[in-house]
Amino acid sequence: MRSHYQVNCRSQHDHQSPLSSTMEAAVERLVQKAWDLHLPLPPSQRLLISIAGIPGSGKTTLAAQIVQHLNACYAETSPGIAQTTRLAAFVPMDGYHLSRAQLAALPDAATAFARRGAAFTFDAPAFLRLVKELRKPIAPEMTTVWAPSFDHRVKDPVADDIPIRPDVRIVVFEGAYLALDKDPWNEAAGLMDEIWFVRVDEEVAGERLVRRHLASGICKDKEEARRRVEQNDLVNGREIITKHVRFDEIIDSVEDPAWSPEAQGVGSK
User: For the chain, how many structural domains are there in total?
Assistant: 1
Helix H, strand E, coil C: the string for 90-110 is EEEHHHHECCHHHHHCCCCHH
CA angle 253, 168, 32 (to 5 degrees): 40
- Asked if the structure places residue 104 within a domain, the reply is no
Q: Which amino acid is at 44?
A: S
- Mind listing the pLDDT tens digit of every residue in the chain (269 residues)? 333 445 555 444 444 433 457 788 899 999 999 999 999 999 999 999 999 999 999 999 999 999 999 999 999 888 777 566 889 999 999 999 999 999 999 999 999 999 999 999 999 999 999 999 999 999 989 999 999 999 988 999 999 999 999 999 999 999 999 999 999 999 999 999 999 999 999 999 999 999 988 888 888 899 989 999 999 999 999 999 999 999 999 999 886 665 555 555 555 44
The pLDDT, as a whole number, for residue 267 is 53
The pLDDT, as a whole number, for residue 181 is 98
Nearest CA to 237 out of 171, 160, 179, 173 is that of 179
- Asked if the structure places residue 93 within a domain, the reply is yes
Asked if 91 and 172 count as a contact pair (C-beta separation under 8 A), the reply is yes
- Asked if the structure places residue 146 within a domain, the reply is yes
DSSP label at residue 230 = I
- Asked if the structure places residue 105 within a domain, the reply is no
- Asked if the structure places residue 133 within a domain, the reply is yes
Asked if 102 and 63 count as a contact pair (C-beta separation under 8 A), the reply is no
Burial class of residue 18 (count of CB atoms within 10 Å of its CB; 0-12, 13-18, 19+): exposed
Q: CATH code at 46?
A: 3.40.50.300
Nearest CA to 94 out of 71, 65, 123 is that of 123
- By residue range, what is the domain housing residue 27? 18-97+123-201+247-264
Nearest CA to 181 out of 238, 119, 129, 240 is that of 240
The 10s digit of each residue's pLDDT in 140-182 is 899 999 999 999 889 999 999 999 999 999 999 999 999 999 9
Helix 202-216 / helix 234-242 crossing angle, nearest 10 deg? 140
The pLDDT, as a whole number, for residue 136 is 97
pTM of the full predicted structure? 0.87
- Asked if the structure places residue 74 within a domain, the reply is yes
DSSP letter for each residue of 144-156:
-EEEEEEETTTTE
Asked if 112 and 126 count as a contact pair (C-beta separation under 8 A), the reply is no
- Asked if the structure places residue 171 within a domain, the reply is yes
The pLDDT, as a whole number, for residue 71 is 94
Asked if 113 and 127 count as a contact pair (C-beta separation under 8 A), the reply is no
